[in-house]
Structure 1
Amino acid sequence: MGWNGESMVSREVTASGQGVPVKVHFTVLGPVRAWRDGIELDPGPAQQRAMLGLLLTQAGRSVPLGEIVNVLWGDKPPASAVNVVHRYVGMLRRLLEPTLAAREEGRWLIRRSGGYRLDVGPDEVDLLSFRRMTEEARRSRMSGDLGTALKRLTEALALWQGPAAAGIPADVRAHPAFTALDREQLATVQEAADLALSQGAAHHVLAQLWETAARHPLDEPVQARLVLALAAAGRQAEALETWHAVRSHLADELGISPGAELRAAQKQILNRQVAPALISTGTAPASETPTKAPMQLPPDLVAFAGRRADLARALALLPEDGRSPKTVIIGVISGMGGIGKSTLAVHLAHQVARRFPDGQLYVNLRGFDPNGSVLDPEEALRGFLAALGVPPHRIPSGLDAQGALYRSLLADRQVLIVLDNARDAEQIRPLLPGNSDCLVVTTSRDRLIGLVAAEGAHPLTMDPLSADEAREMLVRRLGVDRVVSSPDAVDEIIARCAGLPLALTVVAARAAAHPHLPLTATAGELRVADGSLGAFVGSDPGGDVRSVFSWSYGRLGPDAARLFRLISVHPGPDITVPAAAGIAGMPVGKAGRLLTGLTMAHLLTEHAPGRYTCHDLLRAYANELAHAHDSEAERRAATHRVYDHYLRTAHAAGRLYSPYWRTTTLPATAPGVAAETFEDDRQALAWFNREHLVLMSVIDQTVREGFDTHAWQLAWTLERFFDRQGHWRDFLTAQRAGLSAAIRTGHRDAQAHLHRGLARASARLGRYDDANVHVQQALHLFDELDDRSGLAHAHRCHGWILDQQGRYEEALDAAGRALDLYQSVGDHVAGGSALHALGWTHALLGNHRQATTYFEQALATTDKHHNRYGAGGTLDSLGYAHHHLGDHSQAIACYEEALQLYRDIGDRYQEAGTLRRLGETYLATGDRGTTRTVWHQALAILDAADPLAAEEVRAKLRRIDRPAGR
């Protein structure tokens, strides 16, 4: 936190003869500023401000009068220098001392030993606070507490608001008294960077490194650390670009090549010795992350009834004063299926949510999904990290690294976490926060004894509703008059529902839909219904929940009953109306009406507009019915239709999202399937984002069920979406699954394309050895197939991978091969992408004039109306090249056109990147006002999409907001 008139802590001193406590504080780590009682003072003209700055650099020590004169005037002081110093002292005392008596005595500015001393402590001047924090950090480091050491160093560095004593005359600021402070900050930044890199936490210092490197462009040690930190944050290409920029700057300014430290940094990156792991978090420290708090709780149940004792037991875990806990509290709600665990957990969460100002996280772990699609903890963690503001492409690989980042982000937060429907303790443990003020509520049919024993979780086992609670629930849903008028029938309904809220909900839904049907008739229907409790409640003989389900199912029409059964083959986690229509082979309108009916019967839940889910007990029951009433051929046909639906729709969306990307030819569609249609690429991208999780489940299930052709076709089709939107781990998973399926089917063309996709996905994750293996496989297969277009794509991919590794001359050769092949087959649009690649590699080499030629040729081949993404990328690159050539008006025009295209698509992340570069160009023209406007527009996007990038923009804004001369 920076120092200002409201946030600083200062000692209180009583002014002589007045008894009035006075607070003063000062800053010198940046502008020389002073406050008294929270009100900022004007330290006077520049020379007087410089004297105050000098006294602050020596705070607590007497500065001889001769030293003051030497600092202010050097070796040519005026004859009146001593008198001027005395006048400055008097004027500063008038500012600081509230009374005449205090000024005469000198409470703060004291005459001592032929000089003057500013009598202040660490809480009153930022420099002393900085030194205290750095000393505490070093003591922590010596004791082995590296986490605390890094925290204190970053807190200390946050006190710096620019060069020391900024705003005083430049010749005075060049005195060693001030430049020594800059060297002190530089050494501390390097110390913090080394510690952060060793601890896998480069994100904690990256923003400070950016600012420091900008102030010291020729300082090789700090530039080397910036390069390593960028690479550690998963931004290898940017790291190498920065390295080349430093190299050019050293050559232009000093006529030298990079020294050993910078060369070693480049070598580490090229040899993949800088592992992203924890460092590739892409997020600022939790305390600095401005991301909007996640609000993921499902809606509370309006008709929630009973469970007062259970709620009281759960609430007793929290402090009575209404505050959040001071450590992690884990509550385990367990009980049989249908007992109301999830309902209670969500209701409890809504009751206490206000105690957790940093938000709520929720995930359905699908621990008892009848299809076996239990949610992997790594997938759950990725969802949580995304909700906490980490962009998909910056989420580290591996469960351990993701868990460490998750715990780091929650370390200083008060968050409520609901882990619903867990299979076992092992599924939950990676999702538990570390030392933070969080509440974790878990639900499971298992009692999770291991979690209770090892993590100190508090168990809460739910029993069936009592008769009174069940009656209250029916009253809430059906009204008191109707329940009171049929007491015997209500008792029978309660008994047959075994106190299970799910069963009571189904019965109440049927009764509410027929308000004129007496409850005695409802009870009679239940009495004659078939079924047994069986798999639903194990050995508990207390009721017959399957009877309730069969009774409700028996009231469905044949089409609704068939749709309910077939939904059980859907891979989940939820289903839309068009997908349901595909699964049943019926018109979309009819499917929508049937889904509404199933929701009214409480056999499905519409948990989001147009998206339906099913309780796992009901899903298991539907699956039983499907095996009993639908042949294996009918079930497999339904499965085939739903896979066709997603493949066809993804293909249609992909043709709009990336219209010139080569896709596979799809076989004939199964009868009764219609793909969704989209008007433009914006709608296509929105569909991809909505169905992302479902599509991953589809790929997984197609592999498990032997639909290999669907598996590799879907993986191929989704490549561009995963790549552009930064879902690189899902990209890798899908391509691997698709390649295995293509190998099983013997489809060599698909194998070649999927090897190329795997090469790109691997490179995105910094796995360059794997990337090179896969791209060579792709080149070999395409050559064997005599597929010149595919071979061109593979060379284009190879060039991009070489770019990422800084192997620019080889990259130019690969992109040139791709261009020749594209031209030989007459694919001018794809040839444009190769021209773009050639231009970008030249830009990375600093050949910006040559780069513009390639970019302009590439733009001429791009259809801006049908390939807005490609045109936007080319225009952005062209703007970058013009900027570096000093053609700022041209650069601005290119960036503005790229922005319009990205906004038309709805690609906010690319829009933010272009806004950042546009701001740099406006700044280069001297237009600071427009620069601020543009960067604030970028911040509005990056705060939610990429907190680290947002912090970098904030650092730039702080620099341009400083007064002139600083």
Structure 2
Amino acid sequence: MSGPSVGWLDALAHLDELDGTAVISSIAGVGGIGTTWPALHWAHRNAHRFPDWHLFVDVRGFGPEADRVDPASAVRGFLEALGVDRDRIPVEPHAQTALFRTTVADRRLLLVVDNAANTGQVVPLLPGTRSCPVLVTSRNKMSGLVIRHGAHPVPLDVPTEDEARGLLVRHLGADRVAAEPEAVAELVARCGGFPPALGIIAGRARTDPGGRLAAVAAELRELGLAALDDDDPTAGLPDVLHWSCRVLPAEQARVFALLGIAPGPATDLRAAASLTGSTTGRTAAALRRVVDFYPQPRTRATCCWTRTAARCAWSPPRPAACPCRCPTTVPRWRGSRPSTRAWSPHDDALHDRMDDPIGRAIALNQVGWYQAKTGDHEQAREHCEAALALHRKHDNRDGEANTLHSLGYVHHHTGRYGEAAEHYREAINRYRELGDTYEIAGTWPA
């Protein structure tokens, strides 16, 4: 993506006052939002301030572990670029860092460390002198650099709707964008203003000058995130997000994935704690990093991951299985949306207004499932029975099978073994009718 977006001009203004280490971090913490562009743009614009040298290194913090640049390798590269003979470069990493700092002590140069995953990748590269400022781009806030080394955080935000539309205008031309205002509005809304998504959409539209943007919007509406995937991992959004999620610790990755299946545009702390089965204190600590990962504060994680799910080694939460650990990526949910709170009349009104009885049944079943997991079996039974009635009324066999499985679990754990066995058998029969051997194998007793 080219050209300035929201926050970029402010970021450049902050960098104009730079006299130390600056961390350019996206509020979302998601790759592709544009952290590298302002750093490089500012470096070129201010080349006259650093007559001795510009040093740049992409430490590849977000990607396969094997591709990450070791700090010692980066320091050796700097020393060689600065004209230090290889014979003078010591073997020990700490000695290399000391030599680097001595070499640049009297120079005025700029160092750009791009795509850092954590503070440990950056600290050995710091020159240690105010005459050599450092720009660090990252998908994280790099709190360690801010707290321990006095770095100045320069956050970036996602574009507003108008700025997102302007991005499409720059790529596709004003006439093409003006010709299909409804399609453009839908594309901007479905991409949430997220620059990588908009860039992919614009790039594909440019390869088909005669194509209609309405067709692109329809594909995005039908396929969700899968529409932004690509055989080339550098051109697909799922891969960009996949590597961000991989660096989350297991607890935070689990919280992120569970929030992704919570219905509605927002989830408060108490609801998140209920969903994760943890205390509000532990949940708040996990959320501090998880919120950074979200593409934007006002949206939740998408529930339409497809090819990304193939890279997972874990099963998606469903009415027949409890949430499991998800340390590597975000899953593809199979049409179920668990709730983070008790069912209320507002939920009935919402689904009635949306004319969405199946969505209401799915949500009821999920509320019941998580109530059963927390020991509230009576409320769980009521919600699951209400869900079962709706699924049967609207002939939704998949939802009926999942809800029967939930009821089997509820009765099993309240000592009603005969009723539990009957519900399990009915669930298995529905799964057989659907040809869903995976669910048959996962239904107890199978």
- TM-score by structure 1 length? 0.24
Matched, 1:485 2:164: no
| Residues 310, 460 of structure 1: 8 Å contact kept | no
Q: Which residue number corresponds to residue 388 of structure 1?
A: 82
Q: Which residue number corresponds to residue 628 of structure 1?
A: 310
| Residues 361, 417 of structure 1: 8 Å contact kept | yes
| Residues 332, 442 of structure 1: 8 Å contact kept | yes
Q: Which has the higher helix share?
A: 1
Of 228, 232, 235, 1:549 maps to 228
1:74-473 equivalences in 2 (<5 Å) = 303-307=2-6, 309-319=7-17, 327-335=19-27, 336-337=29-30, 338-371=32-65, 373-473=67-167
Residues 491 and 315 of structure 1, relative CA distance in 2, 3 Å threshold:
same
User: Secondary structure at 2:166's aligned position in 1?
Assistant: helix
| Residues 332, 448 of structure 1: 8 Å contact kept | no
| Residues 26, 157 of structure 2: 8 Å contact kept | no
Residues 381 and 441 of structure 1, relative CA distance in 2, 3 Å threshold:
same
Residues 317 and 511 of structure 1, relative CA distance in 2, 3 Å threshold:
closer
Q: CA deviation at 1:375?
A: 2.0
| Cα distance in 2 for residues equivalent to 1:404 and 1:363 | 18
| Cα distance in 2 for residues equivalent to 1:364 and 1:447 | 17
- Across the aligned residues of Structure 1 and Structure 2, the Cα RMSD in angstroms comes to 3.2
User: Secondary structure at 2:122's aligned position in 1?
Assistant: helix
User: Secondary structure at 1:488's aligned position in 2?
Assistant: helix
Residues 625 and 519 of structure 1, relative CA distance in 2, 3 Å threshold:
closer
Of 169, 190, 210, 1:475 maps to 169
Q: Which residue number corresponds to residue 283 of structure 1?
A: none
Q: Which residue number corresponds to residue 522 of structure 1?
A: 216
Aligned partner of 2:113: which letter? Answer: L
Aligned partner of 1:493: which letter? Answer: L
Q: CA deviation at 1:332?
A: 3.5
| Cα distance in 2 for residues equivalent to 1:312 and 1:487 | 29
Q: Could you report, residue by residue, the CA deviation over 1:857-906 in whole angstroms, capped at 9, with x for unpaired residues?
A: xxxxxxxxxxxxxxxxxxxxxxxxxxxxxxxxxxxxxxxxxxxxxxxxxx
Relative contact order higher in (CA < 8 Å, ≥ 6 apart): 2
| Cα distance in 2 for residues equivalent to 1:524 and 1:626 | 21
Unaligned runs of 5+ in 1: 1-300, 320-324, 531-545, 554-560, 569-598, 605-613, 630-966
After TM superposition, which residue ranges in structure 1, 4 or more long, deviate above 6 angstroms?
Answer: 618-621
Residues 477 and 392 of structure 1, relative CA distance in 2, 3 Å threshold:
farther
Q: CA deviation at 1:625?
A: 4.3
User: Secondary structure at 1:381's aligned position in 2?
Assistant: helix
Q: CA deviation at 1:381?
A: 0.9
Q: CA deviation at 1:371?
A: 4.2
Residues 474 and 392 of structure 1, relative CA distance in 2, 3 Å threshold:
farther
| Cα distance in 2 for residues equivalent to 1:355 and 1:457 | 20
1:941-956 equivalences in 2 (<5 Å) = none
| Residues 311, 348 of structure 1: 8 Å contact kept | no
Identity of aligned residues (%): 42
Aligned partner of 2:175: which letter? Answer: D
Q: CA deviation at 1:317?
A: 4.1
Q: CA deviation at 1:469?
A: 1.6
Residues 317 and 449 of structure 1, relative CA distance in 2, 3 Å threshold:
same
| Cα distance in 1 for residues equivalent to 2:309 and 2:80 | 39
| Residues 180, 214 of structure 2: 8 Å contact kept | yes
Matched residue count = 252
User: Secondary structure at 1:443's aligned position in 2?
Assistant: strand
Q: CA deviation at 1:437?
A: 1.5
- TM-score by structure 2 length? 0.51
Residues 406 and 497 of structure 1, relative CA distance in 2, 3 Å threshold:
same
Residues 626 and 528 of structure 1, relative CA distance in 2, 3 Å threshold:
closer
Residues 353 and 489 of structure 1, relative CA distance in 2, 3 Å threshold:
farther
Unaligned runs of 5+ in 2: 246-305, 312-446
| Residues 33, 195 of structure 2: 8 Å contact kept | yes
Q: Which residue number corresponds to residue 725 of structure 1?
A: none
Residues 382 and 625 of structure 1, relative CA distance in 2, 3 Å threshold:
farther
User: Secondary structure at 1:417's aligned position in 2?
Assistant: strand
User: Secondary structure at 2:46's aligned position in 1?
Assistant: helix
